[in-house]
Structure 1
Amino acid sequence: MNCLIVDDNKIARTTLRQMAGKVRDLIVTGECETAMDAYNLMQEQPVDLLLLDIEMPGMTGLELTKHLGDNRPVIIFTTSKKEYASEAFDLNVADYVIKPVNPARFLQAIDKARDIIDSRREEVKLEEDNFLFIRDSAIVRRLNLDEILYAEAMGDYVKLHTLHRFFAIHTTLKAVEERLPVSRFIRVHRSYVVAVNKIDTIQDGAIVIQGKPVPVADAYRAALNRRMNIL
């Protein structure tokens, strides 16, 4: 992950750089004292992650976030002020860390950012490769990922259920799961992987997809609830 530190306080920038330097996959590509400097730099050198202060001379971190729009990097606010938290999270940032930044809290925020960045990369990959090839009897068939409702393990085979039929493939559910983008599919049981956008309801310990119940195991329930962002 490429990272840009934006803070008008030199000591704060140095502290963040030192913490970032201890994270193996985090590369600090630059530092800026103002939000405007950061904006100009990102026009020439896009980054994956912004460690962004809020109160700075001229443009604030909140204003920069709004100005960057939908194609902005993942943002972690690092600030000594708690009162901006609600507005910050309304902007759908990864995290909001209060200074002085604790190393453990910093790593927690980086983990959140990494998950978001990985998800974005999966979505980009999906746009480039929105299908897979399966062996259907003696035929190798192209199957669009959007057709798949869920995958079901059945002994030495996996059934890929679509709206009107299913395809039985001689493979393992683990192998199928590894081929499906995590941005669109989730394991809910040792025998089932489902398409998140095909879920109609969740009730009585099961997911319902096109009227068909799919069991949810207790071991996967918490992850499913987080993924569904249930209110």
Structure 2
Amino acid sequence: MIKCILIDDEPLALELLESHIKRTDGVELLQSFTNPIEALQELERLQPDLIFSDIQMPELSGVQFSKIVGNKFPIIFTTAYDQYAVQGYELDVVDYLLKPISLERFQKSVAKFQSRNTTTATVHAASVPDYIFVKSEYKTLKINLADIHYIKGMADYVTIVTADKKIHTLENLKYYEKTLPATNFMRVHKSFLIAMDKIEFIERNRAVILGDYIPVSETYKKAFFDRVNG
């Protein structure tokens, strides 16, 4: 299921996209915003897989929004601009939808995102068998997956915790959730991704790793204990 948010200062444009989402299998709307600044403030909480954003907005343009978000969240622009003019921005967005947006064109754009997402996941799986490279400050560090105990997400960065060090990087938690193998790594909270084989013990709704008590939230509780109990 692709979880998305919509950003457009025109309520009618939002209504059309909301209608398209309802008629498209595999897409779920998390929230619609008429103010892009409010959307920015909610990104870490919502953790969308995909963002549909208008370009011309008074508070913050779609281009400015995209530059702030960077590569953390994929974006599809919805715009009244000519497609070739928009490409001049040279932003790494998934697609450009020209208004008025038809259902068929909307669904093709979603399919394009699915294809790109699948390809990216395949590349990660093939190229990162037992280690990852992480940018931290001015260095790129090689970290063996077996050394990772858990990852904690903060507002603007994550901390990768090993037995002997903590590494800070600007990638978000969702990136590591998708990149690290699900055979051992599991999301247990909006702020925590853990290595299941590093759990020392479980106390109530908390997993203890390196002596740290990591909460298991209601969202992930069932999946976590299903896995623990086999």
Normalising to structure 2: TM-score of the pair? 0.52
**Alpha-carbon distance between aligned partners in 1 of 2:63 and 2:29, rounded to the nearest angstrom:** 21
**Alpha-carbon distance between aligned partners in 2 of 1:125 and 1:40, rounded to the nearest angstrom:** 31
**Alpha-carbon distance between aligned partners in 2 of 1:110 and 1:99, rounded to the nearest angstrom:** 16
CA shift, 1:124, in A, is 4.6
**Alpha-carbon distance between aligned partners in 1 of 2:123 and 2:48, rounded to the nearest angstrom:** 17
Number of the residue aligned with 2:109: 109
**Alpha-carbon distance between aligned partners in 2 of 1:95 and 1:129, rounded to the nearest angstrom:** 30
**Alpha-carbon distance between aligned partners in 1 of 2:32 and 2:99, rounded to the nearest angstrom:** 18
Question: Residues 118-164 of structure 1: CA distance to partner in whole angstroms, max 9, x if unpaired?
Answer: 22333454466459xxxxxxxxxxxxxxxxxxxxxxxxxxxxxxxxx
Q: 2:109 is matched by which residue type in structure 1?
A: A
Number of the residue aligned with 1:51: 52
Number of the residue aligned with 2:20: 19
Q: 1:5 is matched by which residue type in structure 2?
A: L
Correspondences of 1:62-73 after superposition (within 5 Å): 62-71=63-72, 73=73
Number of the residue aligned with 1:92: 92
Number of the residue aligned with 1:33: 34
SS of 1:70's equivalent in the other structure is: coil
Question: Residues 188-215 of structure 1: CA distance to partner in whole angstroms, max 9, x if unpaired?
Answer: xxxxxxxxxxxxxxxxxxxxxxxxxxxx
CA shift, 1:70, in A, is 2.4
**Alpha-carbon distance between aligned partners in 2 of 1:28 and 1:81, rounded to the nearest angstrom:** 25
Correspondences of 1:101-180 after superposition (within 5 Å): 101-126=101-126, 129=129
Q: 2:75 is matched by which residue type in structure 1?
A: I
| Mapped contact 1:81–1:98 kept (Cα < 8 A) | yes
**Alpha-carbon distance between aligned partners in 1 of 2:49 and 2:3, rounded to the nearest angstrom:** 5
Change (3 A) 1:33 1:40: same
SS of 1:47's equivalent in the other structure is: coil
Change (3 A) 1:127 1:39: farther
**Alpha-carbon distance between aligned partners in 2 of 1:124 and 1:29, rounded to the nearest angstrom:** 27
SS of 2:6's equivalent in the other structure is: strand
Number of the residue aligned with 1:197: none
SS of 1:81's equivalent in the other structure is: coil
Alpha carbon RMSD of aligned pairs, Å? Answer: 2.1
Q: 1:7 is matched by which residue type in structure 2?
A: D
**Alpha-carbon distance between aligned partners in 1 of 2:23 and 2:118, rounded to the nearest angstrom:** 20
**Alpha-carbon distance between aligned partners in 1 of 2:30 and 2:128, rounded to the nearest angstrom:** 28
Matched, 1:4 2:2: no
SS of 2:55's equivalent in the other structure is: coil
Q: 1:44 is matched by which residue type in structure 2?
A: R
**Alpha-carbon distance between aligned partners in 2 of 1:18 and 1:121, rounded to the nearest angstrom:** 29
Q: 2:104 is matched by which residue type in structure 1?
A: A
Change (3 A) 1:81 1:38: same
**Alpha-carbon distance between aligned partners in 2 of 1:23 and 1:129, rounded to the nearest angstrom:** 34
**Alpha-carbon distance between aligned partners in 2 of 1:15 and 1:128, rounded to the nearest angstrom:** 40
Percent identity, aligned pairs only, is: 22
Q: Which has the larger radius of gyration?
A: 1
